[in-house]
Chains A and B, each alone.
Chain A
């Protein structure tokens, strides 16, 4: 298994070289967003309004961290289930979003869009939020702060461990798993 060290912002060239199953240590700035923030962004876009977030070449991490304990930058911060964000994902990809981090499978519609726009979907290991918190250098809520744990955070990560779940060619790590019924 290859382990690649990548820095953000990710360029389309770098993304194009990533293959499903590759292990990645990602560094740089990303945004967190989960259900409520996605719904709000989606509604703004649907109503033809600008969104207060520049998604060009951005990576969104599906996460709602615990508050930082004393002397730490963030609490536990593992990924949440990505498929809940599927219905809101396409307009964000159209706005230039280049990567997503979460856990679990994506819809066929999202897989096709990842291929179309040459993006990438990363898996983070679910349920290791304490460990992942040691790879976060900075985190602050920047949007929808009233949503509390569902606010959008800007987060700086260093060597954040990920696996390529869907690559820019649309190859899905879960496509060939033998346990699947369909």
Chain B
């Protein structure tokens, strides 16, 4: 057994929150640059250049990439040979988040209840945490601050088991059209296929964590991702929905088992400032 003090998890979460909010993911930055090299429309080019310049300023001056520093999703994969000591894990997660949002001058966007007082908790906590127990004696920590401009455009549909891949594609493309300019295109799409109602949504969220230039290793799923990228980029929506070839930077699908009667599909819409950071301890 390996002992890990929860204070180490707290500090890691703090550091990762700061990194995710100040440093745009390398895969996203590469995709913005490659989008720029393909665009010919002056307005689309100008916007993509502004996004790249924004990432540079944020990294250099330690200012949040986007003012919507989000509600924080924390994914923990805890090896089953790990013993957590030194206090409560849930407390350590929220303390790490709180500290980052205070010292990093990040916006506190979390309210304590949804329809009663809607009062800001003032700390950007609680985070939304997902914990998986895995083999081994390590802890993988991934944080993802996500804004609600894009989160609000996310959709889920319970398809018939007999529906075709074409039906699923149409649904995903429709989600992009409905998201429109509000979700800050060029978008990143996380798609969850299979599981149950909530599992599909969880997979859609988790899919956003994968580098967008890595296709799903399952051949037919990777192919579906490539087809969706091509189809969505032919919509002409472009950056800010003002026209252009760069409408999505990436489409990441995660697929899993499901019930004979069902085929859940969830689309977690994310913006060009899709943020996450990860560390294994």
Residues of A within 8 A of B (CB): 1, 36, 63-69, 72, 75-78, 80-81, 83, 103-105, 123, 125-131, 133-134, 147-150, 161, 163, 173-174, 177-181
Contacts and interface: CB of A to CB of B under 8 A. Distances in A.
Contact of B105 (A67, A80, A128): A67
A73 to B, nearest CB: 12
Summarize B's interface: helix, strand, loop or mixed: loop
B106 A66 contact: yes
Contacts of B243: 177
A134 B54 CA distance: 10
Contact of A78 (B62, B66, B108): B66
B182 A69 contact: no
A179 B68 contact: no
Contact of B54 (A68, A103, A128): A128
Contacts, number: 145
B168 interface: no
Contacts of B58: 76, 130
A103 B181 contact: yes
Chain B, interface size: which category? 35 or more
A173 B61 CA distance: 34
B264 interface: no
A125 B243 CA distance: 14
Contacts of B149: 80-81, 103, 126
Interface of B: 42-43, 47, 50-51, 53-55, 57-58, 61-69, 105-109, 118, 120, 122, 149, 152, 174, 177-178, 180-182, 184, 235-237, 240-243, 247, 271-273
B67 A78 contact: yes
A127 B241 CA distance: 13
Contacts of A163: 242
A147 B107 CA distance: 12
Given A127-B184, A127-B272, A131-B53, A149 B120 contact: yes
A105 B109 CA distance: 23
A173 B120 CA distance: 35
